[in-house]
Amino acid sequence: MREIVAGFATFSTLSYIIFVQPTILSGVGADFYTVLFATCISSAIATAILGTLTNFPFAIAPAMGHNVFFAILFCSTLNLSVSQALFINFISASVSLLLSLSGILWLIINQMPKSLKTGISCGIGLMIALIGAEWGGLITQGKGTLLALGDVKSIPFLATAVGLGVAGFLYAIGVRFAVLIGIIGSTMFLYYIGYVSLPEKFVSVPHIPNLVNISFHIPTDKLKDILYGLLTLLILDVFDTAGTLVGLFEVAKISPDKKQIQKAFISDSLGAVIGTVLGTTTLTTYVESAVGIQAGGRTKLTAFTISILFIASLFFIPVISLVGAGVNFEGKVFYPQIASAMIFVGFFILATIKELDFDDITESLPAFITILIITLSLSITDGIAFGFISYTLLKVLTGKFKDITPLTVILTIVFTAKFILT
């Protein structure tokens, strides 16, 4: 029962992707329902594969950030059709799958310094909390500053506070699925004050749209820009996945072996291939899986529950929209129900910071830089990059060469080159 509740908890916090993904891609020419259908089906398949192969309680779905990059660069800037852009995405996903099968990605995680693993975990936690704070109206853009406190009397702020308060209280008294109840509490508050309405019908019968809309015709005059985009997609896919897995392993106290890690990468990459073929962008392991871990999810049963919920959501779109579609307040869409969960889980993940050795600045400072960049740039990949660069630099300057593995040197060079050449 605990694993099933954990699956519901994770799905509740990532259900927004069912609506956000088709909204982004339909803005550049894709069919809304086709993307929604592809998102649910491919996420269900990929998550089930991950659970079957690894026994991990993680979810896989279209990656936020990747979808925006896809839409802006390929479709808007380069003026490619969605079908053409999906072909480029397919190539990236296929290369990622080959890398997964080769075992190279396992080496990245295995040889990553412990301090950077902790930094990635904490950075992800703060990133989740920051996004949650924005989605819940707790912070807003300031006058002359990037951030400022949101309106404490606003509906999103109050709804987020209710959900966070409920989750915090219940967790304090030992309720393992406190986050899920917090989401329900926030939703009930919004319903009570009239910002959430019960749907006219709870069940909608889905239909199968025209899938596999990939065009193999790529304009040669834009080949350089396309190759740049392809490389960027690949880097995002590999290192976002690696960073997320490291963070989730830390939170769940999982010590996976080589085969498990390789299977996790294979599941992720295979999901990306399947998703692209069906009509959506790159799939990746979701940091929101930490919500289910906090609720007690530890095995594939949690993943299977999430997978089933993705399929079921096609029949219950009106109900899922109560949480995932957001709340319109003063012309802006907020996600207070999800926000409360993300903030609480961000706090929960940050607990791993106690594993850092602050007495050794060559270990703790790169970890802190990793945390800082991930949080403020909202990019796991960039955080990992600056973490490796600062780690190698400090170790070299202090003469601690034995702490630097060959792979650390290689990745430092790769990331440095990325910033210089792009």
- Over residues 108-133, the pLDDT tens digits come to 777 788 888 888 878 878 887 888 89
Half-sphere exposure of 242 (CA within 13 A, CB side): 26
> What integer pLDDT is reported at residue 324 of this predicted model?
66
Tell me 76's DSSP state.
Answer: I
> What integer pLDDT is reported at residue 367 of this predicted model?
94
> What integer pLDDT is reported at residue 383 of this predicted model?
86
Q: Are the C-beta atoms of residues 343 and 133 closer than 8 Å to each other?
A: yes
Cβ-proximal residues to 94 (8 Å cutoff; 6+ apart), any chain: 273
- Over residues 364-414, the pLDDT tens digits come to 999 999 999 988 887 777 888 899 999 999 999 999 998 888 888 988 998
Return d(Cα 74, Cα 23) in angstroms, integer. 16
- Predicted confidence (pLDDT) at residue 180 exceeds the cutoff of 80: no
Geometric angle at alpha carbon 74, from 326 and 33, rounded to 5°: 40
Return d(Cα 48, Cα 220) in angstroms, integer. 38
37 or 325: which leads in pLDDT: 37
Return d(Cα 113, Cα 226) in angstroms, integer. 33
- Over residues 9-57, the pLDDT tens digits come to 888 878 878 877 887 788 788 888 888 899 999 999 999 999 999 999 9
Q: What is the mean pLDDT of residues 128-149?
A: 87
- Over residues 67-114, the pLDDT tens digits come to 877 887 788 888 888 999 999 999 999 999 998 898 887 777 777 888
Return d(Cα 327, Cα 319) in angstroms, integer. 14
Return d(Cα 119, Cα 115) in angstroms, integer. 6
Tokens coding 349:
């993940």
Q: Are the C-beta atoms of residues 410 and 158 closer than 8 Å to each other?
A: no
- Predicted confidence (pLDDT) at residue 266 exceeds the cutoff of 70: yes
Residue recorded with tokens 């690894």 = 54
The SS3 call for residue 363 is helix
Tokens coding 249:
């392993």
CA 14 to chain centre: 9
- Over residues 181-235, the pLDDT tens digits come to 888 899 899 989 888 877 777 787 888 777 767 877 887 777 877 887 887 788 7
Q: Where does 236-340 show beta strands of DSSP type E?
A: 283-285, 327-329, 332-334
- Over residues 232-247, the pLDDT tens digits come to 788 778 877 888 888 8
- Over residues 331-369, the pLDDT tens digits come to 888 888 878 878 887 887 787 788 888 999 999 999 999
- Predicted confidence (pLDDT) at residue 288 exceeds the cutoff of 70: yes
